[in-house]
Amino acid sequence: MMTGLKSYILLLLSAIFLVVCSTNTKATVHKPKAGDEVSTTLVTGSKDGIFSSRASYTFNVKNATDAPQTGTVSYIAVTPAGVTVAKESRMVNLSKHSNNSFDFTVPEQKPGFYKINFMINVSDYDDTTRRVFGVRPEEIQSQHGRPADFDSFWQTTKNELATVKPQFKMTEKTEQETENRKVYLIEMRSLDNITVRGWLTIPKTTIRNRRFTTLLALPGYQVDLKPMLGEDNDIAIITLNVRGQGNSRDVIHPKRPDYISLNAEDKNKYVLRGAIMDCIRTIDFIYSRPELDPKRIEVSGGSLGGFLAAAVAGLDNRVQLVSSQNPILSDIRNLPNQEDWPMYDLHKYAGEKGIKFDKVLDNLDYFDIKNFAQNIQTPILLGIGLLDHLAPPNNEYAFYNLIPGKYRRIMVFKDLGHEVPTAYIMKDGHMMRDKFALF
């Protein structure tokens, strides 16, 4: 008799990363506060908001009031820099308790991403729905090159790291262990002989000499990562607090907003140079441990953690899988809105220090993830949100398009900002299970 059975959600596992949100970009249905009187919904003509030439939308308007509604429905599409590329307005006359749909097609645009606002202005209701669409983003290319000595800069940095004795230390924290996991505080010396710390949790096992797949979870901006537990019996998890974050703040401990700009005027002292090396050192740690399988390492992170994961992917081929969610600092010279983080804080830092901003940009070229892209030889999954103003889609694609095609995958979420949904997490989990044969 042949029968099959399958599929088993075994466990929860986690990668914590910092997400910065400041907008209400997710709403798709707009209603007046007074009640269900006039409401709108916007349907995008493609599931991920990406089009081959002309973007299309359907704007649905429902009038549930007892009065007719007259006015306009309209849209305006602009470049990331705010230049209007298309707009259209139509008269609307809705009788009471009625609805209507309006199809809009945006004229053909050049490859890139565009902001588009849909407005309704009728007798008793005004509202705007904000969206972003993309046109052939696979053709997006950064207009800025990378420094000629980019590779040698990082090779020198890695050589410098190699001169630092790691002094790995593991301290079991029995008070934090769970029924199925042991918990360890891990410590190591990294670049500039700075001690960085993190947490390792390992499933308890009866299998002798078992070597676990390791998930290295990298932190978001100024996040204090804690031990990551869960019911998974297959995966060891390291949560790393890079220098200046969490329990690795004994030498570098800036105020939260100052971290991103710390020593930005000197590429050899910039805080992220050391932070990236802290990640590399942690891979050294994984390699040093007999219970961790050096052939099965995934590095994952979001926001700053996504940046760190992308940089590690470009610098260290010992990693077998990378998941980078909403990575910041991509195509830095093309971050259009300098009122936004992180450019605002970098400008502020340069002003306070009396440094020419061009000097800061010159140094940041060594930390721009698009400049790491061409060196990546590890499968990498990138997750982006079209409404993300901290990691804008144009910039993310400038990074993505430079990654060799055989290694890259991307998931685009048209209605999300600086975050990824469960679908991404599931995909990431499935990829890891498959890649490391954890069937």
Site residues (vs other proteins, CB under 8 A): 1-22, 207, 210-211, 215, 220-221, 223, 232, 234-235, 256-257, 260, 300, 302, 325, 339-342, 344-345, 348, 419-420, 422, 424-434, 437-439
CA pair distance 299, 281, nearest whole angstrom: 13
- Name the residue nearer to other proteins (CB basis): 220 or 314: 220
- Name the residue nearer to other proteins (CB basis): 127 or 340: 340
- Name the residue nearer to other proteins (CB basis): 18 or 67: 18
Q: What is the 3-state secondary structure (H, E, C) of 214-260?
A: EEEEECCCCCCCCCCCCCCCCEEEEEEECCCCCCCCCCCCCCHHHHH
Nearest to 284 by CA among 354, 221, 216, 348: 216
Q: Please state, in angstroms and as integers, the Cα–Cα distance from residue 326 to each residue in 13, 123, 377, 408, 431, following that order.
A: 20, 40, 20, 15, 18
- Name the residue nearer to other proteins (CB basis): 324 or 394: 324
End-to-end Cα spacing for the chain: 23
Contact 399, 369 (CB under 8 A): yes
CA pair distance 164, 188, nearest whole angstrom: 10
Q: Dihedral of CA 84/90/91/97: which sign?
A: negative
- Name the residue nearer to other proteins (CB basis): 24 or 174: 24
- Name the residue nearer to other proteins (CB basis): 150 or 259: 259
- Least CB distance from residue 129 to other proteins, whole Å? 21
Contact 247, 269 (CB under 8 A): no
- Name the residue nearer to other proteins (CB basis): 17 or 150: 17
CA pair distance 15, 214, nearest whole angstrom: 12
- Name the residue nearer to other proteins (CB basis): 112 or 198: 198
- Name the residue nearer to other proteins (CB basis): 68 or 254: 254
- Least CB distance from residue 390 to other proteins, whole Å? 9
**Bridge partner residues of 63 (DSSP):** 38, 98
CA pair distance 437, 405, nearest whole angstrom: 23
Contact 99, 59 (CB under 8 A): no
- Least CB distance from residue 275 to other proteins, whole Å? 17
- Least CB distance from residue 43 to other proteins, whole Å? 24
Q: How many CB atoms lie within 10 A of CB 113?
A: 23
- Least CB distance from residue 435 to other proteins, whole Å? 8
Nearest to 393 by CA among 114, 203, 158: 114
- Name the residue nearer to other proteins (CB basis): 2 or 148: 2
CA pair distance 404, 330, nearest whole angstrom: 16
- Least CB distance from residue 279 to other proteins, whole Å? 18
Nearest to 422 by CA among 9, 6, 30: 9
- Least CB distance from residue 414 to other proteins, whole Å? 18
- Least CB distance from residue 267 to other proteins, whole Å? 22
- Least CB distance from residue 192 to other proteins, whole Å? 25
- Least CB distance from residue 148 to other proteins, whole Å? 32
3-state secondary structure of 298: strand
